[in-house]
Amino acid sequence: MTRHRFKTVIWVAMAIGLLVIGMAAAVGAARLLAYFQQGADPASALNIVPNKPLDWPVELAWLPDDENSGRELEPFTRAQIEAAYIRAWLQLTFSYQKGEPFGLGTYFTGAALGAVEAATESGLEMEQIATRHSLELHLYSADGSIVAFTDHAATVAQILPAGYSEEVGTYDVVMFLEEGQWKVRHWQRTALIEDAARQYPQPPLPPIRGINYYPQATPWDLFWTEYDPEIITQDIALMRELTFDTVRVFIPYQQFEDQPALLENVQDFMDQADAANLRVILTLFDFRADYQLLSWPDADRHAETVVTAFAEHPALFAWDIKNEPDLDYDSNGQVTVDAWLAHTIRLVRRFDPDGRVTIGWASAENAHTHADQLDFVSFHYYDYAEQFATTYAQLREQVSVPIVLTEFGLPTWNSPLFPNGHTEQEQAVYYAKILGALAETDSAGFMAWTLYDFTHVPSGVAGRWPWQKGPQRELGIVDRDGEMKVVVEVISAETTPTPIPTWARFLKPFWLTVMATSGAMFFYLYRKRRLRKI
């Protein structure tokens, strides 16, 4: 190579390198810009506390005013007092988040300001939020500048290094109107209301033979938005034909927040289930992954809407607070997730005192959490069938309430490119082992995952890769053509399928691909060697 060509090659290489570096810098800058334009990230990066709007959906109600409260409190002024009082609590939340007084002088004055500033200067590591208030007006001054009231149900949730606590207290409050702004001047807790969440009676739990359900053509995020009553009629009839007496379905949190009219479809589903004598477990907050305290009031209002809509429905069997919340431990922290669960259990109990409550844990290892607050413990199991009896026994040692296996199954997915596929016969054997082991326990029953195989599986369910989506598509007991799989005989007739011989695994598509590829390579090398000899 000549010197000129050598220099040209070097300059071209340098130009390409600079181009790559420039593109990387541009991509990095764009990502950094996007990072700082996202709602929550600037707050975490710059230690800025988010500013929630004044219509923050904290539960607040007025009790009847005292007869001798003075002049009548005008609706406009009452609304101003509500907003200022809620915001005072919220500002205290912000201060605890920052670990120092933060904007408290805007909503507190006098002795109350000194008290809350001292509390937030104490260095106590704590997150706190007030989620409910019940106000009784005692005084509204003649000049319209002073109000006095009692908050009879100030519900305060606190997350400390030592754990979670939630208190319901009575507070005496005096607020002054200063320069057009209502401020808290006197604020004293006078009593704690005993927690009644543990005092709800547990209704008897009948045996459960259940199934988890999505319509075959419209599963997960399409279930309620593409709801078809005729399909539901057919599928409920199929469930009853297969001897199932209970069905578990899911209420996606964000979807129902955006489209509350979807509750009409849930109503139709519940009505059809009731007509067929099919019990329903409604699973709340599906796909909700944000457990930070500032989001609790929004979730509370969602729970209130759904629970009050169906608390009295005859088809309702139980409320499942959250599907597999233990999978959110890594992203949100176990203390915060468990705190929100405890809070929401109390909330659902308040809106439906006679209803059953459970939590659908992904692992039996975590299923003891809050067990003393639940009517039955439910967990999911997709591990080896031979280990099930031991897993159940360990859980039983930790809890005293009934236990239900609310998810289990084995996919019949097979691929010529990926291992670990299973046949229908293997699925049937797996079911037989699990149900056989369950029958030897004191379990209240089971719920299989799931009725159908699917073609559509959102990436957020199992992942984007073929080896993740594939098995999730074929966990049903009815295939995509509507044909019953072998496992149906195990569930319905409780028959014992023939065990699978060890050699049969090599007849699956993956191993056939491996053998065919190995044979082709061997033949190629053999031919190449023969040609060399010739």
- Segment 467-483 shows an average pLDDT of 85
Q: First CA to last CA across the chain, in angstroms?
A: 40
Which of 72-81, 400-409, 418-427, 469-478 has the least mean pLDDT?
418-427
Average pLDDT of every residue of the chain? 85
Whether residue 307 contacts residue 352, with contact meaning beta carbons closer than 8 Å, is answered with: yes
CA atoms within 13 A on the CB side of 437: 18
| Single-letter code of the amino acid located at 196 | A
DSSP 314-376: TTEEEEEEEESGGGGHHHH-HHHHHHHHHHHHHHHHHH-TTS-EEEEES-GGGTTTTGGG-SS
Most confident of 53-57, 359-363, 425-429: 359-363
Q: Tell me, what's the pLDDT at 520?
A: 65
Q: Which CATH class is domain 59-194?
A: alpha beta
pLDDT above 60 for 278:
yes
Q: Tell me, what's the pLDDT at 71?
A: 87
d(CA 244, CA 319): 18
Contact residues for 66 (Cβ-Cβ < 8 A; gap 6+): 136, 137, 138, 139
Percent of the chain predicted with pLDDT > 70: 78
Q: Tell me, what's the pLDDT at 124?
A: 75
Q: Comparing C-alpha atoms, which of 333, 332, 362, 357 is closest to residue 344? A: 357
d(CA 306, CA 282): 10
Give CATH superfamily name and number for 208-499.
Glycosidases (3.20.20.80)
Higher pLDDT, 284 or 19: 284
Q: Burial of 120 by CB count in 10 Å (0-12 exposed, 13-18 middle, 19+ buried)? A: buried
Per-residue pLDDT of 370-387, as tens digits, reads 999 999 999 999 999 999
d(CA 407, CA 220): 16
Q: Tell me, what's the pLDDT at 488?
A: 92
Q: Comparing C-alpha atoms, which of 291, 296, 327, 320 is closest to residue 306? A: 320
CA atoms within 13 A on the CB side of 215: 17
E strand residue ranges, 179-327 = 181-193, 208-212, 246-252, 279-286, 316-323
β-bridge pairing 246-252 and 357-361 = unpaired
Contact residues for 244 (Cβ-Cβ < 8 A; gap 6+): 209, 210, 211, 278
Per-residue pLDDT of 453-468, as tens digits, reads 998 888 777 777 776 7
pLDDT above 60 for 39:
no
Which of 11-25, 228-242, 458-472 has the least mean pLDDT?
11-25
Q: Write a three-state SS string for 113-149.
A: HHHHHHHHCCCCCCEEEEEEEEEEEEEECCCCCEEEE
- Segment 308-337 shows an average pLDDT of 96
How is residue 452 annotated by DSSP? B
Query: Phi and psi (nearest 5°) for 406?
Result: -95, -5
Query: Phi and psi (nearest 5°) for 184?
Result: -80, 120
Percent of the chain predicted with pLDDT > 90: 66
Q: Tell me, what's the pLDDT at 458?
A: 82
Confidence band (pLDDT; 50, 70, 90) for 416? low
Q: Tell me, what's the pLDDT at 525?
A: 67
Q: Packing angle between helix 229-241 and helix 263-275, nearest 10 degrees? A: 40
Confidence band (pLDDT; 50, 70, 90) for 30? very low
> For residue 423, what are the CA distances in angstroms to 336, 420, 450?
41, 10, 16
- Segment 495-516 shows an average pLDDT of 60
